[in-house]
Chains A and B, each alone.
Chain A
Amino acid sequence: MFDLAQIAESWGGADDETYRTILAIFVPEAEALCSQLAGLINEGNPQRLQRLAHTLRGAASNIGATRLADCALALEHAPGPAAATRFAELHAALRATIAMIAAGGPAAHG
């Protein structure tokens, strides 16, 4: 779910104080992006969908949430009809990531 080696390299470790501050900012941001993505899937707006998926990928990779970042990348490049499936995968990854953060973040699971 999280790449601990990358977190160590970028942040000095998952128990870093700044890292934990950013995790707290990330959760509502990712939830908001995810609900916007759901709306765009229904609307069928591939261009904006790609943009927002890209933003989510950047935010996820920033905190070392690799699985979520991979799902966002897959959605970014998914052709129209496949977008709904990719989004479902992304949604599941986001739920799992948020659950892990709520349970103390990657430091508690390291």
Chain B
Amino acid sequence: MDKRTILIVEDSRSVAMTCKLQLEPLGHTLLMAETGCDALGLLREHPVDCMLLDLKLPDMDGLDILRELRQWPAPPSAVVTTANASLTVAIEAVRLGAFDYLVKPFAAARLTTTVANALANTALKREVETFRRTIEHDGFCDFIGRSTPMQRVYRTIEAASRSSASVFITGESGTGKELAAQALHQLSPRAKKRFVALNCGAIPRDLLESTIFGHIKGSFTGATSDQEGAAMRADGGTLFLDELGEMEMELQTKLLRFIQSGQYERVGEGRTRPADIRFVAATNRDPAEAVRQGRLREDLFYRLYVVPLELPPLRDRGEDILLIARRFLAEFSRQEHKAFTGFSPEAEARLIGYGWPGNVRQLQNVVRNAVVLNEGAVLTETMLPPLPGLATPASAPAASLPPPPGTPIRRLADVERDYIEHAIRLCDGNILVAAKKLGISPSTIYRKKEAWT
């Protein structure tokens, strides 16, 4: 069995130590809390797999902790310990989701067996939960897809979501890095607090610092009022920093200090403020390369690279392409009041066979384009917009070459018609694109087409 984390919540030091010494030989990580408040703090900060919970705590009733845990996604299994051999309390605890209960004093063997069962129960519950999420929705959180590489992604997200450890996401543009960060937040005990996403590459450099930390009135030209930053809004929640490599080195230093100390200063303010934040960072290029090139501070990188999460490109996700395309087709048809119910087999073959350099975002745009510009129940291959890179130069039109000598002279109108039709075919039936490439207006093509029929 992997190394698991067990939390012992017990206000008597000698009883807590008894449990600790008896559980230590199992080789797991043991955490101790004397009060309910400490216990909830540790549960938020650590990926706890099993909790040994005394029902009478100095600051709260153990049942209140069980009530709180019931609101959490994938909570640890709780084994309740009580000095009262009172069945009603034990039944209430089990009703609130406790896995089992032990009446004090309990024998070492009874404790270790019960905890081992509780750990197995947690593992099973979580595996089932990941599986259920994936099967029921053909995806996980807002991700669509059930391919093997994505199952790995889902498992990592599920496991990492329970702790506050920083997660570093890598993946090509359009693979869903922000979706992954949101899923980490949604599944975490922080879900009720805010998820704040910042794209470091999209915010002007001189504004990024005040966007993250906030500023006070008059701290720089244009700072006409006090402004709270992302740090304050994400307090208790999750801060997602996309395109981290685009951040200036000086600001990276400030960010590192913030992550290490949990304290930050608004721009222009002389005092520090605390913030409890879970950090998720992302780059679409190799972060180690960014470190080598001196664009990303090495210490910041290692501070954030606690749990690495790599998102696979769409071309490696097989049938997921169709699951995602069908979902987008249904969504955009509804939004645009169209009647599309599916793709033709040829259209699906084209989608599956394409390399999708822009990943899910590109697929989304392709489907939206086809839905907006076409009508019908079935979205056919000719309705799909051209997919860049597919029309290879090798198949360049022969029509662009001068005809060989001796060829009979044809009517200019016929040559023009052949060539326009050829261009439309090359653009997969998309007249707008064909017109643009031919350097004429689409209405010219429509007019000519009418004359040809």
User: B54: shortest Cβ distance to chain A, in Å?
Assistant: 7
- The proximity string for A residues 55-74 relative to B, scoring 1 for CB distances below 8 Å and 0 otherwise, is 11111011110000000000
**Residue B365 at the chain A interface, CB threshold 8 Å:** no
**Residue A25 at the chain B interface, CB threshold 8 Å:** yes
User: B326: shortest Cβ distance to chain A, in Å?
Assistant: 59
**Residue B13 at the chain A interface, CB threshold 8 Å:** yes
Which residues in window 29-79 of A have CB below 8 A to B?
29, 51, 54-59, 61-64
Q: Are A64 and B83 in contact (CB under 8 A)?
A: no
> How distant is the Cα of A56 from the Cα of B83 in the complex, in angstroms?
11
Q: Are A58 and B54 in contact (CB under 8 A)?
A: yes
**Residue A10 at the chain B interface, CB threshold 8 Å:** yes
**Residue B441 at the chain A interface, CB threshold 8 Å:** no
Q: Are A51 and B58 in contact (CB under 8 A)?
A: yes
CB-CB < 8 A to B107: which residues of A?
9-11
- The proximity string for B residues 1-42 relative to A, scoring 1 for CB distances below 8 Å and 0 otherwise, is 000000000011111011001100000000000000000000
A61 in contact with B83 given A9-B107, A51-B58 (CB within 8 Å): yes
CB-CB < 8 A to A54: which residues of B?
56, 83
> How distant is the Cα of A22 from the Cα of B12 in the complex, in angstroms?
11
User: A37: shortest Cβ distance to chain B, in Å?
Assistant: 14
Question: Which A-chain residue is minimally distant from B111 (CB atoms)?
Answer: A10
Q: Are A10 and B105 in contact (CB under 8 A)?
A: yes
> How distant is the Cα of A78 from the Cα of B54 in the complex, in angstroms?
22
Interface residues on A, range: 20 to 34
Instruction: Please tell me which one of the listed residues A22, A51, A57, A59 contacts residue B21 in the complex, with CB atoms under 8 A apart.
Output: A22
**Residue B223 at the chain A interface, CB threshold 8 Å:** no
Question: Which A-chain residue is minimally distant from B58 (CB atoms)?
Answer: A51
User: A67: shortest Cβ distance to chain B, in Å?
Assistant: 15
Q: Are B105 and A25 in contact (CB under 8 A)?
A: no
Q: Are B13 and A25 in contact (CB under 8 A)?
A: yes
- Our count of residue pairs bridging A and B at CB distance below 8 angstroms stands at 57
Q: Are B12 and A63 in contact (CB under 8 A)?
A: no
Instruction: Please tell me which one of the listed residues B14, B17, B56 contacts residue A51 in the complex, with CB atoms under 8 A apart.
Output: B56
Instruction: Please tell me which one of the listed residues B14, B54, B104, B108 contacts residue A11 in the complex, with CB atoms under 8 A apart.
Output: B108
**Residue B106 at the chain A interface, CB threshold 8 Å:** yes
How would you classify the secondary structure of chain A's contact residues: helix, strand, loop or mixed? helix
> How distant is the Cα of A85 from the Cα of B245 in the complex, in angstroms?
71
Q: Are A62 and B56 in contact (CB under 8 A)?
A: no
Q: Are A58 and B108 in contact (CB under 8 A)?
A: no
User: A72: shortest Cβ distance to chain B, in Å?
Assistant: 9
Q: Are A29 and B108 in contact (CB under 8 A)?
A: no
> How distant is the Cα of A18 from the Cα of B20 in the complex, in angstroms?
10
CB-CB < 8 A to A10: which residues of B?
105-108
Q: Are B56 and A55 in contact (CB under 8 A)?
A: yes
> How distant is the Cα of A21 from the Cα of B24 in the complex, in angstroms?
14
Which residues in window 72-86 of B have CB below 8 A to A?
83
Instruction: Please tell me which one of the listed residues A6, A12, A22, A57 contacts residue B18 in the complex, with CB atoms under 8 A apart.
Output: A22
Q: Are B105 and A6 in contact (CB under 8 A)?
A: yes
Q: Are B105 and A61 in contact (CB under 8 A)?
A: yes
Q: Are B83 and A29 in contact (CB under 8 A)?
A: no
CB-CB < 8 A to B18: which residues of A?
18, 22, 62
> How distant is the Cα of A56 from the Cα of B11 in the complex, in angstroms?
10
List 10 additional A-B contacts (Cβ < 8 Å) besides A11-B108, A55-B12, A58-B83: A9-B107, A10-B107, A22-B18, A58-B54, A58-B104, A59-B14, A61-B104, A62-B14, A62-B18, A64-B105
A-B contact pairs, 30 of them (CB 8 A): A11-B107, A11-B108, A12-B108, A18-B18, A18-B21, A18-B22, A18-B108, A21-B21, A22-B18, A22-B21, A25-B13, A25-B14, A26-B14, A29-B12, A29-B14, A51-B56, A51-B58, A54-B56, A55-B11, A55-B12, A55-B56, A55-B58, A59-B13, A61-B83, A61-B104, A61-B105, A62-B12, A62-B14, A63-B14, A64-B105
User: What is A's interface to B at a CB cutoff of 8 Å?
Assistant: 6, 9-12, 18, 21-22, 25-26, 29, 51, 54-59, 61-64
User: What is B's interface to A at a CB cutoff of 8 Å?
Assistant: 11-15, 17-18, 21-22, 54, 56, 58, 83, 104-108
Q: Give the 4 A-B residue pairs with the shortest CB-CB distance, closest first.
A: A26-B14, A59-B12, A25-B14, A58-B83
